[in-house]
């Protein structure tokens, strides 16, 4: 047994180092590669419809609520739980928003705030039993799923309710106003895309420089350059495409901010560390002084908040609240999180993985719809995608 | 006499680690063969290869059993040959009865219908053979560790065992249970069943083993034959560690100061049986720089006392006061206890200590994440520096701090859990069985760490079932029995007999 004197990677033949590194990060790359491959596939078989500016914009709008909920679901799953109620809660909040705005004429900002608060309360009510009374989350949220499905039916009395005030609809259907300039091309969108790409490259370079100073940079230069080069190019390209349509949807801004905040919280903060620890071994976490109950409770409050936000986005997009809204969405959200590499037993998973997982589902849905594939086959293929992703994970893990 | 088993030139590597490097071992029919070595020497790995946990092809080398070369691809293959392993973590299903567990996967059935009469009758026979007086219908979860071990052995006997492998069977047993188990091994030997015994308790090994193979760093150092002469423990230790280890306990110069932990009238009720006091009116004091021991039998309430002091993590606290550094402390959660300067290192590192799927570096700072963060944001480089610092200071054997703790050997896992407590910078450190399942060399290191902490002014409260350890390490020893402190002895006066006497006197 050799114990290497420090954690730096010793000088090895280059190719071996590359292979070793890629093997160690297989999961991280494979899911991104899978997304790109699926997009390329549908781009070809749909004769380029997939990446048409209007379709791309639609793709983002269509998946925004799934992604928003996937962020919360990731935390729930990482802490070792599951939430089956998110679809129903989302529908219920949509219904509540409609009743407040359409029936009672409450201003949309106040109504929105009431809805978000209600989402938190719903999360708190479920999280309370799960965290402090140790009732399995599967059961509590299964009950919640039924309760809120019933409540939205009752609230809407089985009818659809709409339309929403104009201001509210902007949440989903609005676009960030362009800076005056080129006609028929959204300059702002391209600039934001380019700025974002540049910012990511700069941050990556700075991070790498810091790692080098501490002697912990283990990603081979070529992999590093290729990875960030490709990501930056992809962002600029997608921004370009969207600029050719109507530019930046409001909801994309909301989503991007949320993704940034949640990746930061899970990846870099002590709160994130603690949530992963709870999922990794709850008893050990508690004996390490981590308030496991309070944190579990809060992950459900957070989930309720995000489900409510998703409910508002969805209602604004459809411009009406229906008793069927959100039906079965919990399955897409949960699938996204597991495709993204989270583990059923908790303690494993990343925000980026969940987002990419949601896009894999979204692109597959969208591509199949363009091709005119029936809902029956769509369901089947989505099921197989989920199964394949998890099988890949499990076999990859047992090979280590 | 042709050997029963020969493993030749076994080499097994994990990413970054060579766990076994060309080990050759021979087992004769009907012998008790002990395998000893430091933590991480490769003992468990070797047995996992033999029993098919690591299948043929995932290692190099050959296995010859009963005169023929065998390819063992799964646990089923090894069981078919009559090789049965009892793992360090027992594999009984708590909600099934003894009989159901014994015949699990091997049911007495015709056409899928279980013959309960035969099952229970045969279970009774088997239980009689292992000397366990329990009904076949008793649920396994109700049995203590010692009895569960015996059930495991009965299960092995039900499968026509020819070679029994026991991986640290006595590490969580008390002396009486250990004694019974070893006695049983000798009986089995008399009936011609060979066994391989892995243990860190060298006195046991020296007592029952016919031959002893010493592994060090994945290689076979020596095989000692105990049949023609008695082997001194020191000789085994020298081979294990690679140098003579003259003292089992590092020298200690205590400078004891003022009290840091004062507990008065501490009383705790059982979590589900509110009329049962598990800890009853305990008074205890630990001073700065002092190492205080708590002796007692299993079930005396020592762990319960410690857990309850540590943020009421056990049972229902009903009475008692605690002062740390002279100030009254009301610690209702582990966090509050840690903040007040009290840390606890669990006896059950697997279930209550480690995050097995996380790296060493993620495990160590867990009790004091503020120590590696700035405004809630974790500083990766601080974290790495802290973890690597502990890896060196505690001599944790691993290629880097990125290794998952679940794949570390027992001693190294213990050092990780201990590091976590130390990083929280406690004034009083409660250690629960700090050397369970740990080799002599690593024990010595852990003792040294304890002494260093005491020398730096930390108060140490140490629970241990190994009397020599308490006698060798402590300045003062409390004796606990059935939830009460039944005596206290300064180290100079304490002897094993006196302590046992105090326990028994109360038991009447
Ligand atoms: N799955 C694994 N992945 C990586 N390394 C491993 C794995 N299993 C074991 N090891 C390493 O192989 C070496 C031998 O481990 P093994 O468990 O056989 O030791 P041991 O002699 O049984 O120790 P102990 O006395 O602590 O039980 C150790 O360095 C350990 O870290
Ligand atoms: Mg072992």
Model confidence over B13-64: pLDDT tens digits? 987 788 999 999 999 999 999 999 888 889 999 999 999 999 999 999 999 9
Q: A362 and A236 in one domain?
A: no
Q: A164 and A278 in one domain?
A: yes
Q: A57 and A77 in one domain?
A: yes
Q: A153 and A184 in one domain?
A: no
Q: Are B222 and B214 in contact (CB under 8 A)?
A: yes
pLDDT score of A214 more than 80:
no
Residue B241 pLDDT:
80
Domain termination site, one of A230, A248, A266: A248
CA of B408 to the centre of ligand 2 (A): 9
- Measured from the alpha carbon of residue B412, the closest ligand is 1
Residue B480 pLDDT:
92
CA distance B315 to B355: 24
Residue B163 pLDDT:
94
Q: A263 and A195 in one domain?
A: no
- Measured from the alpha carbon of residue B87, the closest ligand is 2
Q: A191 and A204 in one domain?
A: yes
Model confidence over B385-395: pLDDT tens digits? 999 999 998 88
Please name the residues between 424 and 483 in chain B that touch chain A, using a CB distance below 8 Å. 424
Contact A2 B18 (CB under 8 A): yes
Q: Find the residues whose C-beta lies inside 6 A of ligand 1.
A: A 1; B 14, 17, 19, 37, 39-45, 407-411, 439
pTM (2 decimals)? 0.85
Q: Provide the angle, in degrees to the nearest 10, between the axes of the packed helices A26-45 and A351-371.
A: 20
- How far are the Cα atoms of A55, A216, A305 from residue A61, in angstroms, in the given order? 10, 40, 19
DSSP-H helix ranges across B280-404 = 302-309, 334-340, 360-363, 380-393
Q: A18 and A156 in one domain?
A: yes
CATH number at residue A356: 1.10.3470
The dihedrals phi and psi of B291, each to the nearest 5 degrees, come to -110, 115
Question: Average pLDDT of A365-387?
Answer: 90
In this prediction, residue A1 has a pLDDT band, given cuts at 50, 70 and 90, of very low
Residue A6 pLDDT:
41
- How far are the Cα atoms of B33, B63, B137, B158, B167 from residue B53, in angstroms, in the given order? 21, 14, 30, 21, 14
pLDDT score of A333 more than 60:
yes
Contact list in A for residue B366 (CB cut-off 8 A) is: 273, 277, 284-285, 288, 290
Q: A196 and A59 in one domain?
A: no
Residue A16 pLDDT:
64
Question: Average pLDDT of A61-88?
Answer: 96
Contact B357 A2 (CB under 8 A): no
Q: A151 and A12 in one domain?
A: yes
* Minimum distance, in Å, between the CA of residue A329 and any CA atom of chain B: 31
Q: What angle do CA A228, A231, A235 make, to 5 degrees?
A: 140
Average pLDDT of chain A? 89
Q: Are B348 and B334 in contact (CB under 8 A)?
A: no
Domain termination site, one of A210, A233, A248: A248
Extract the tokens encoding B135.
């009904």
For chain A, the maximum distance between any two Cα atoms, rounded to a whole number of angstroms, is 73
Which stretches of chain B drop beneath a pLDDT of 70?
90, 506-508
Q: Whose CA is nearest to atom 16 of ligand 1?
A: B42
- How far are the Cα atoms of A89, A113, A153 from residue A106, in angstroms, in the given order? 21, 11, 21
- Measured from the alpha carbon of residue B17, the closest ligand is 1
Residue A13 pLDDT:
53
Q: A127 and A68 in one domain?
A: yes
Most confident of A214-223, A306-315, B78-87, B120-129: A306-315
Extract the tokens encoding B95.
């909600």
For chain B, the maximum distance between any two Cα atoms, rounded to a whole number of angstroms, is 73
Model confidence over B169-221: pLDDT tens digits? 887 777 778 888 899 899 999 989 999 999 988 888 888 999 999 998 889 98
Q: A261 and A240 in one domain?
A: no
Residue A10 pLDDT:
45
DSSP-H helix ranges across B310-439 = 334-340, 360-363, 380-393, 410-423
pLDDT score of A54 more than 50:
yes
Domain termination site, one of A228, A248, A268: A248
CA distance A172 to A185: 21
Contact list in B for residue A286 (CB cut-off 8 A) is: 313, 334
Q: A194 and A57 in one domain?
A: no
Partners of B109 in the β-ladder: B114
Contact B384 A7 (CB under 8 A): yes
Please, what are the domains in chain B? 5-241 (3.40.50.300), 276-507 (3.40.50.300)
Q: Which of B407, B414, B438, when mutated, tests ligand 1's pocket best, judged by the most ligand atoms within 8 Å of its CB?
A: B407
**From the list B19, B373, B399, which residue is nearest A3 (CB)?**
B399
Residue A45 pLDDT:
93
Whether ipTM exceeds 0.90 = no
CA of B79 to the centre of ligand 1 (A): 23
As for how many domains chain A has, the answer is: 2
Domain extent, residue A314, equals 2-172+249-399
């Amino acid at each position: 047994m050799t114990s290497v004197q420090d954690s730096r990677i010793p000088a090895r033949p280059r190719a071996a180092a590359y292979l070793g590194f890629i093997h160690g990060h297989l999961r991280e790359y494979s899911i991104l590669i899978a997304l790109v491959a699926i997009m390329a596939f549908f781009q070809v078989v749909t004769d380029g419809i997939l990446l048409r500016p209007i379709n791309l914009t639609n793709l983002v709008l269509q998946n925004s609520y799934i992604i928003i909920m996937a962020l919360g679901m990731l935390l729930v799953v990482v802490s070792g739980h599951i939430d089956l109620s998110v679809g129903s809660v989302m529908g219920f909040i949509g219904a509540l928003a409609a009743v407040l705005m359409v029936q009672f004429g409450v201003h949309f900002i106040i109504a929105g705030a009431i809805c978000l608060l209600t989402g938190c309360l719903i999360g708190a009510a479920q999280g309370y039993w799960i965290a402090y009374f140790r009732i399995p989350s599967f059961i509590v949220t299964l009950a919640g799923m039924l309760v809120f499905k019933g409540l939205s039916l009752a609230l809407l009395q089985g009818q659809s309710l709409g339309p929403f005030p104009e201001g509210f609809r902007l949440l989903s259907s609005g676009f960030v106003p362009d800076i005056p300039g080129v006609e028929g091309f959204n300059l702002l969108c391209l600039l934001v895309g380019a700025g974002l790409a540049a910012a990511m490259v700069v941050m990556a370079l700075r991070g790498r420089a810091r790692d080098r100073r501490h002697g912990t940079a283990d990603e081979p230069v070529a992999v590093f350059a290729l990875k960030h080069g490709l990501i930056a190019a992809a962002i600029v390209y997608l921004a370009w495409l969207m600029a050719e349509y109507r530019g930046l949807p409001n909801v994309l801004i909301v989503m991007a901010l949320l993704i940034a905040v949640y990746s930061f919280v899970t990846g870099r903060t002590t709160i994130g560390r603690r949530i992963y620890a709870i999922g990794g071994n709850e008893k050990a976490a508690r004996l390490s002084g981590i308030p496991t109950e309070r944190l579990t409770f809060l992950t459900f409050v957070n989930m309720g908040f995000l489900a409510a936000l998703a409910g508002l986005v969805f209602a604004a997009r459809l411009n009406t609240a229906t008793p069927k809204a959100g039906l079965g969405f919990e399955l897409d959200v949960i699938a996204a999180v597991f495709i993204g590499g989270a583990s059923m037993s908790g303690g494993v998973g990343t925000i980026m993985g969940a987002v990419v997982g949601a896009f894999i589902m979204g692109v597959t849905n969208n591509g199949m719809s363009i091709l005119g594939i029936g809902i029956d086959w769509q369901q089947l293929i989505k099921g197989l995608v989920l199964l394949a992703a998890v099988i890949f994970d499990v076999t990859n893990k047992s090979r280590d | 006499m042709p050997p029963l088993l020969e493993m030749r030139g076994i080499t097994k590597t994990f990413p970054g680690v060579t766990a076994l490097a060309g080990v050759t071992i021979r087992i004769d029919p009907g012998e008790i063969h002990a395998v000893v070595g430091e933590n991480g020497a490769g003992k468990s790995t070797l047995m996992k290869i033999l029993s098919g946990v690591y299948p043929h092809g995932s290692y190099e080398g050959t296995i010859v059993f009963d005169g023929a070369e065998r390819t063992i691809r799964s646990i089923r293959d090894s069981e078919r040959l009559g090789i049965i392993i009892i793992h360090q973590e027992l594999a009984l299903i708590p909600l099934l009865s003894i009989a159901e567990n014994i015949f699990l996967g091997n049911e007495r059935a015709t056409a899928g219908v279980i013959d309960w009469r035969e099952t229970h009758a045969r279970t009774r026979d088997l239980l009689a053979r292992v000397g366990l007086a329990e009904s076949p219908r008793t649920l396994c979860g109700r049995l203590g560790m010692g009895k569960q071990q015996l059930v495991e052995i009965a299960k092995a006997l039900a499968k026509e065992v020819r070679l029994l492998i026991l991986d640290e069977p006595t590490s969580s047993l008390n002396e009486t249970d250990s004694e019974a188990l070893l006695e049983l091994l000798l009986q089995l030997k008399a009936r011609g069943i060979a066994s391989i015994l892995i243990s860190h308790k060298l006195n046991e090994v020296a007592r029952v083993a016919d031959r002893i193979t010493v592994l060090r760093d994945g290689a076979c150092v020596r095989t000692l034959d105990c049949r023609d002469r008695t082997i001194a423990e020191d000789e085994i230790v020298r081979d294990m560690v690679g140098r003579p280890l003259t003292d089992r306990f590092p020298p200690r110069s205590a400078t004891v100061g003022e009290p840091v932990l004062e507990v008065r009238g501490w009383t705790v009720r059982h979590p589900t049986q509110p009329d049962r006091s598990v800890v009853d009116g305990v008074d205890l004091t630990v001073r700065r720089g002092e190492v205080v021991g708590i002796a007692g039998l299993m079930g005396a309430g020592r762990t319960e006392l410690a857990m309850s002091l540590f943020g009421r993590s056990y049972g229902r606290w009903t009475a008692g006061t605690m002062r740390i550094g002279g100030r009254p402390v009301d610690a209702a959660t582990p966090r509050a206890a840690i903040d007040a300067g009290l840390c606890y290192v669990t006896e059950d590192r697997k279930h209550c200590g480690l995050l097995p799927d996380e790296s060493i570096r993620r495990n160590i700072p867990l009790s004091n994440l503020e120590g590696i963060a700035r405004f809630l944001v974790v500083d990766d480089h601080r974290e790495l520096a802290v973890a690597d610092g502990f890896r060196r200071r505690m001599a944790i054997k691993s290629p880097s701090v990125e290794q998952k703790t679940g794949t570390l050997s027992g001693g190294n896992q213990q050092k990780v859990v201990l590091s976590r407590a130390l990083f929280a910078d406690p004034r009083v450190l409660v250690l629960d069985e700090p050397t369970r399942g740990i080799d002599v060399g690593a024990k010595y290191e852990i003792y040294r760490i304890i002494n260093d902490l005491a020398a730096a002014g930390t108060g140490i409260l140490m629970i241990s079932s190994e009397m020599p350890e308490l006698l060798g390490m402590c300045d003062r020893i409390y004796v606990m029995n059935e939830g009460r402190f039944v005596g206290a002895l300064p180290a100079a006066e304490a002897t094993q007999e006196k302590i046992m006497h105090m326990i028994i006197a109360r038991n009447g």
